Structure 1
Amino acid sequence: MMGLSTTHQGGALVMKFKQSEAQNQRIERITTSHLIVGIDMAKETHVAQVTNYRGIVLTNRHVSFSNSIEGFEKLHRWMEDLQQKHRMSKVIIGMEPTGHYWWNLANWLTHKGLQVVLVNPATTKRNKENRDNCQSKSDPKDALVIADVVSRGFYYEHTKQTHVFQRLRTLMSDREFWVTNSVRLQNRIIQWLDIRFPEFSLVFKDWTCKRSMATLKELPTPQDLAGRSTPEIVSMWRKHMQRAGSTTGIQKAAELLAQARRSVGDVTALTEAKQDFVRLITEFERIMDMLADIEKHLDPHGRSAPFH
């Protein structure tokens, strides 16, 4: 046990040394020629403040600028004026990668050939008390803290991603959004079935299979199935799938009718409930079609893939 503990401690020390070494290297990259800019990001208006390599504030007047091309250019002019005033040939710009508000500005600045770095919001929070022993929220103060954190090497580089990677990132973000919506809709559909036709899952373990989906679109309630025959059910399935009349299909149709006859599902406001269900199924199918299209574009070997 002691040997394992010693090994673990040794590994932790090596990792800590490597982290400290990397931080020192980042500090060494910042010279007396660097203007260090900290930016506090918001939805509409950002705030920037500057220090030198020692963390000394270079101007008592911060700059506020809008999240627009005019605002970005205002920031650029402000930085150039300060560089000229303090005779600094280089600039390093730090910001927190929180939310999505930072993304366009970071890419715009990078496109201008400027060095953009990112700081961990947790690091910023821990360092708020360093200057005035107060953790209160203030955009200019936060911008100054970010600049100070950068000057001490607590940052990592932001690099403009390749065109292919950006397309992949966008597709993955799009996919995540629609998967979340798909799960939400599936839960609503399952809830609806649990109330209106709780025996349905005894027939179809997977309610998204072809026979199940055909049934849910055509005859979703026990009342819709009442008085139907097995051949009628099979005939209805044939409109949506092949081999509907196989031995399995005939057996499933019989089971479905049997469960419908003994159903204890709620029949209150059934007309309105069915209208709601039609909307749920329609939206679910629409989302599944979109996800299938996204998956096709994510496949680098697909004929329609954007990376082919």
Structure 2
Amino acid sequence: MNSTQNERINQITSSTLIVGVDIAKFNHVARAQDYRGVEFGKPITFGNTREGFELFVGWYQKIATAQGFQDVIVGMEPTGHYWLNLAHYLRENHVKYGIVNPLHVKKSKELDDNSPSKNDMKDAKVIAQLVKDGRYAIPHLPQGIYAELREAMKIRDHLTTDLCVVQARVHNWLDRYFPEFLTVFKDWECKSAIQMLSLYLLPHELACVSDETLLKHLREAAKRGLGLGRIQMLKAAASRSVGI
């Protein structure tokens, strides 16, 4: 047991109400206990809405008042991104909270009843027990410009991944249907190449289109530098294409 875990255990005393929350997309389940594992009140199911969060806070505050607890800590499993709304709400209301490792939840369930199966009521109890044992972490939720920067980085990563997927697909399509295309246009991402690809024609169809029609279409994107010679090269390549 490391010193950090010891510090967290020491923060939980006989006057601390421990609340475990099983997070879901629409409705969460919570159970409350003390440092010995004695449970108080009935489990509550509340929605992922402001009204649901207010119901949840009122529920554990009522238990804390009735049982004489002086402070509360809420533990939750960081399921996807669904936990973030509750975490931000608790922080705004100055409620102490922590997150537990999903692997610890799974292993602890196996120890309790020899079954790792998913059960919201059981999971909420297991999460509370992990918090009791100091097996939780305090997440860092950036605010203001730092939160915006983190979100911007995530969006950039997603866009970069999506771009790579699209580029790979286009390469695959060219290799299959018109492998000679890149002998005429060295870079399919240039304006003129994309303009020709936007016709959505297979090689045998492209070869039947008049030079003037293709040149007019090409000039809509590339005003200079490309002429009839490039069009004729493309049609010649299309007529000899081995694309499927």
Same-fold status (TM-score > 0.5): yes
Aligned equivalent of 2:183 = 202
Q: In 2, are the aligned partners of 1:110 and 1:159 still within 8 Å (CA)?
A: no
CA distance in 2, matches of 1:177, 1:224: 35
Aligned equivalent of 2:116 = 135
Instruction: Note the alpha carbon deviations across 1:64-122, whole angstroms, 9 max, x for none.
Output: 11222221111101110111122111111111112121111111111111011111100
What is the identity percentage for the equivalent residue pairs of Structure 1 and Structure 2?
Answer: 39
Quick check: 1:49 aligned with 2:27?
A: no
Q: 1:228 to 1:219 in 2, by over 3 A?
A: farther
Q: In 1, are the aligned partners of 2:24 and 2:79 still within 8 Å (CA)?
A: no
Residue 242 of structure 1 deviates from its aligned partner by: 5.1
Aligned equivalent of 1:117 = 98
* Structure 1 residue identity aligned to 2:39: L
CA distance in 2, matches of 1:23, 1:142: 21
**Greater relative contact order (Cα 8 A, min sep 6): structure 1 or 2?**
2
Aligned equivalent of 2:145 = 164
Q: Equivalent residues in 2 for 1:76-95 (5 A)? A: 76-95=57-76
Q: 1:132 to 1:161 in 2, by over 3 A?
A: same
CA distance in 1, matches of 2:184, 2:10: 69
Aligned equivalent of 1:12 = none
Q: What secondary structure does 2:32 align onto?
A: strand
Q: What secondary structure does 2:40 align onto?
A: coil
Structure-2-length-normalised TM-score? 0.85
CA distance in 2, matches of 1:128, 1:204: 60
Aligned equivalent of 2:241 = 263
Residue 190 of structure 1 deviates from its aligned partner by: 3.7
Q: What secondary structure does 2:13 align onto?
A: coil
Q: Equivalent residues in 2 for 1:280-295 (5 A)? A: none
CA distance in 1, matches of 2:200, 2:157: 32
CA distance in 2, matches of 1:165, 1:134: 41
Q: How many residues align?
A: 243
Structure-1-length-normalised TM-score? 0.69
Aligned equivalent of 2:8 = 26
CA distance in 1, matches of 2:53, 2:200: 58
Q: In 2, are the aligned partners of 1:234 and 1:244 still within 8 Å (CA)?
A: no
CA distance in 2, matches of 1:145, 1:80: 21
- Alignment RMSD (CA, Å): 2.8
With 197-206 and 62-71 compared, the bigger mean Cα shift is at: 197-206
Q: In 2, are the aligned partners of 1:91 and 1:114 still within 8 Å (CA)?
A: yes
CA distance in 2, matches of 1:37, 1:27: 15
Q: Pick the aligned partner of 1:70 from 40, 43, 51.
A: 51
Instruction: Note the alpha carbon deviations across 1:225-268, whole angstroms, 9 max, x for none.
Output: 44655x986665443135424xxx787555423312211334xx
Structure 2: which 5+ residue stretches go unaligned?
A: none
* Structure 2 residue identity aligned to 1:33: S
CA distance in 1, matches of 2:228, 2:198: 19
